[in-house]
Amino acid sequence: SGYACFSFLSFFFFFFFFFLFLLLFLFLFVFCRPAFLSTSGFILSFSLGLTPILPAYSLLSFFYLFSIFNLSTYPTFPSPHLTFSPPSHWSGIHVYTVTSMASGIARALTKLVGRGRTPFVPSLSSFLPRLLSSPSSHLASASPLPVFALTLSRGVKSWASGGKSLDDGMADFFPPSTGASVVAPAAAPSSVHDVADSRYLDRVLEGGSVVKVYCVSSSPNPILPWQNKPQAENTGSGFILSGRKILTNAHVVADHKVVQVRKHGDPDLYVAEVRAVGHDCDLALLSIEDERFWQGVLELELGSVPDLQDAVAVVGYPTGGDNISVTGGVVSRIERQTYVHGASQLLAVQIDAAINPGNSGGPALKNDKVVGVAFQNMMDADNIGYIIPVPIIEHFLADVEQHPSYKGFGHLGISVQMASNRSLRHYLGMAADQTGVVVCDVLPLAGAAKALKRHDVILEVEGKKVANDGTVAFRRSERVFFDYEVLSKQIGDVISMKVLRDGDVKEVEVEVKKADYLVTPTTYDELPKYFIHAGFVFTAFTQPYLREWGEDWAYTSPRQLHHEALFGIKKKEGQEIVIVGHVLADQINTGYEWLATHRVSKFNGEDILNLDDFWQKLRQNRETFLKIELHGGEIIILDRVEAEKASRRIMANYRISDTLLHSHHLRTGDDADMSGQE
């Protein structure tokens, strides 16, 4: 009879509470869905407490009741000596289920009454390990109803007092365990003080370590290269390093005319000089001569590459306000990324903090060290930002210290193919324990041209084994693309490789050279190369020329030039693409206006190497006619004497003077009426 009684009670209480909480579940979902969706503890309670199979749960409840009331010695039980104590983990989950329900209900009530207090649902990282590691004696004595009542009372008390965490009171239920505990992963920081020492962060702010950078810039006009575009004003961030260096992003000061800096808490602006710019790595170095600026400043120190899941604090001056801002984030990825400003691919760190305009150049701090520089974000994505890691920063600073002018990052000048296919590896003679990548092509002017050949298999780089996907070991279980080892070298350094060639393993050394593009991808802080003759504006073709077609230049710019910009290969030293950039209309060039954007290939039957070669051939010509052949077969024929006379007229009509031609000027004497480059 006792067995039947408690079995009936166990089934009855289970189904009663099941339908009771099901009704509450539906009520919250229908009438206060926002509160329900934010009530993670309530949902967790169902996932932990109500998902087991009903008979199994009822049987567990039956034995649980026996253990609580110590009825295992009841005479009608099959064995008077058989006792049963529920496992501590199952009991713990049962108790946690009830407490989660209580906290979920109280949390929903908070939303319903609109108090807006901080949620007090217990966190798994702090509560569940203590629950699971608690002795079964404590759990066995934790009856569900008292736990539910105490939990709900603490929840209401927490709500009334402003949202104190429920975890603060859980010690009443679970005393400290003397056994081994289960460690949960660290949760994301709740404030920036969790990612950087609060006292150090205060020192950074008070010491003026992070500055606001004001820049007035004006870029040349690629279409009319003797002119500049209207000046623009922009702001960014920067920070102070040891040695009185101010580090910021290159895109903050690109094409600068005037740069000023202001410290946090200081109303004065100080004129800054741009010492060095690395557009490929998007870094720039500033200096300030005014001694007043350096009074009381705190110089920051560089740290190392942060680990995944490390918390960082990004400090800067984003748009939307004038004062300094501190944002917390977590490192989510470390890999090679495209640096938008310099059109290069270097190591970058992805964080889940927004990098907004104005944040660029600000430091990312971990504890008391700088672990990166904020520089870009991902378009059409929320809270995905990127920081430049310390190895890139150190490479830039070393380059500036070692060379009179910044040289930049080098490259191998090769294209590779992954060796993932088994037949491919067998064909190349790779052993079972060999991995690597296959060299598909080698640029003729690259450093690898003397050491590598097509279909070589790169097995190792700087002693690190290259995997079939092209990666090498980075840190512990992390991997990066093998050219990271190349990017860590300075221009002129030598990198060692082990390659498989025709079945033999060879060791080779490759000189690291700067990338030498046929079409320059960026021309920041540079004046255009051009000359004008008979109204034709001849210029060296660069990618900024194509960007004058607007944001959709990849689709609207001339197809032939677009193809050359992306896939053109320089085959000779000094080689450039010369184009008719613009035609200043005059009677001498009537009928040729449509030839703007066409590529120049020959002059008077001779190939053109670059713009300077074209200019020299033109000024030395004494033929009656000038014959300019274009890449598509079109030709421009001009009378030499008439062209020289027309040049002065055209320059005057378009108000172009030698004072506006930078290093270009009007020729006199034998070269009368001809403007050119020297």
Active site residues: 251, 282, 360
**Are the CB atoms for 360 and 394 separated by under 8 Å?**
no
The tokens for 467 are 């995997």
**Are the CB atoms for 218 and 257 separated by under 8 Å?**
yes
**Are the CB atoms for 288 and 330 separated by under 8 Å?**
no
**What is the bridge-based pairing of β-strands 283-287 and 311-316?**
unpaired
**Are the CB atoms for 531 and 628 separated by under 8 Å?**
no
Residue 475 phi/psi, 5-degree rounding, is -145, 125
**Are the CB atoms for 297 and 240 separated by under 8 Å?**
yes
**Are the CB atoms for 204 and 192 separated by under 8 Å?**
no
Please name every residue paired with 442 in a beta bridge, in sequence order, or none if there are none.
414
**What is the bridge-based pairing of β-strands 494-501 and 457-461?**
antiparallel
**Are the CB atoms for 98 and 155 separated by under 8 Å?**
no
**Are the CB atoms for 403 and 388 separated by under 8 Å?**
no
**Are the CB atoms for 21 and 48 separated by under 8 Å?**
no
**Are the CB atoms for 311 and 398 separated by under 8 Å?**
no
Q: For residue 471, give the H/E element and its range.
A: strand 471-475
**What is the bridge-based pairing of β-strands 536-540 and 578-583?**
antiparallel
Closest CA to 176 of 243, 130, 141, 132: 130
Q: Report the amino acid identity of residue 1.
A: S
**Are the CB atoms for 479 and 473 separated by under 8 Å?**
yes
**What is the bridge-based pairing of β-strands 513-514 and 578-583?**
unpaired
**What is the bridge-based pairing of β-strands 504-511 and 385-389?**
unpaired
**Are the CB atoms for 364 and 374 separated by under 8 Å?**
yes
To the nearest 10°, report the CA torsion of 172, 178, 179, 180.
Answer: 80
